[in-house]
Structure 1
Amino acid sequence: TASDLVYHELKVFKKKRAVPVIAAIMDLGTSGGYYIAMAADHILAHPSTITGSIGVIMVTMNAQGLLEKVGVQPAAIVSGPKKAMGSPFRPMNDEERAIFQGTIDHLFEQFLSVVKEG
C-alpha cells in the first residue's frame, strides 16, 4: 500500500540521516496516516485530532440484480478461474470470500506488527 511505502521510506530516511523524525497529526491520524506515523520517533497530535482506526477493509458490491432490472447482461472473458474475483457483476462465492478474507487478515497482521514496532 502507499502507506507501507511511505512508512518504509521514512525508516530508510531515519537510518541514512541519523536524525529524529517527528510526525504531526492535526485532524485525522487514522488507518494509513496512523500507519505512517509509526515510523516516527515522536508523534505530536493536536488535542482535537482523531487517531486510531487500526484495521483493514475491502469493500465490494454485487450489482447483478440491478443490472438485470435494466436489461444489462455483463460477460467476462478471463485468463484464469480467479481472475474475475470481486467482480460487481455476480455474487462472490465462498471460496473467493475465503481468499479475500485471508488477504485482509494478512494485511491486518502486518498493520499490527507495524503498530507494535512503532
Structure 2
Amino acid sequence: MNKLEKKRIAENINLYIRLNGFTKRSFAKATNFSQGTAEAILNGKVISNAKFNKYIVKITEKLGLDTHYFKQDKETLLSMPIHYQEEEEKIHIGDEKYNTISAMLKIGDVYYTNL
C-alpha cells in the first residue's frame, strides 16, 4: 500500500467520523485504540502497511462495516446511510432537536466542501 492510498483511507475515516457524530476521542474509544494510535491512523502516518491494514480491519469490525468500506471513493461514502452512535458518543450535547440540526449542518458542510 502506498502513501496516497493510506492518505485516501485516512481521509475516508475522517469523513466517516464527521458524518456519524464522532469526535476523535469518541472514535478512539469506540474502536479500542489509544488516542495516539487513533491520531496516527487518522493522519495516515502508520508506517507499517501490515499494522495499518490490521488497524483498518479492527476499525471496520468494531463499527460493523465491510472490511473494504474505507477503500471506496468519497462520493460512494457520502451516499451511504449515516449510522449515529449512542448518545454518550455523539459530538453534541443537548436535546435531540439540536443534535439533529447540528448533524444536518455538518453534512451540508462536508457536501459543499467537497464540491
TM-score tier (shorter): under 0.3
Normalising by structure 1, what TM-score? 0.25
Between structures 1 and 2, the one with greater helix share: 2
Q: Say which one has the larger Rg.
A: 1
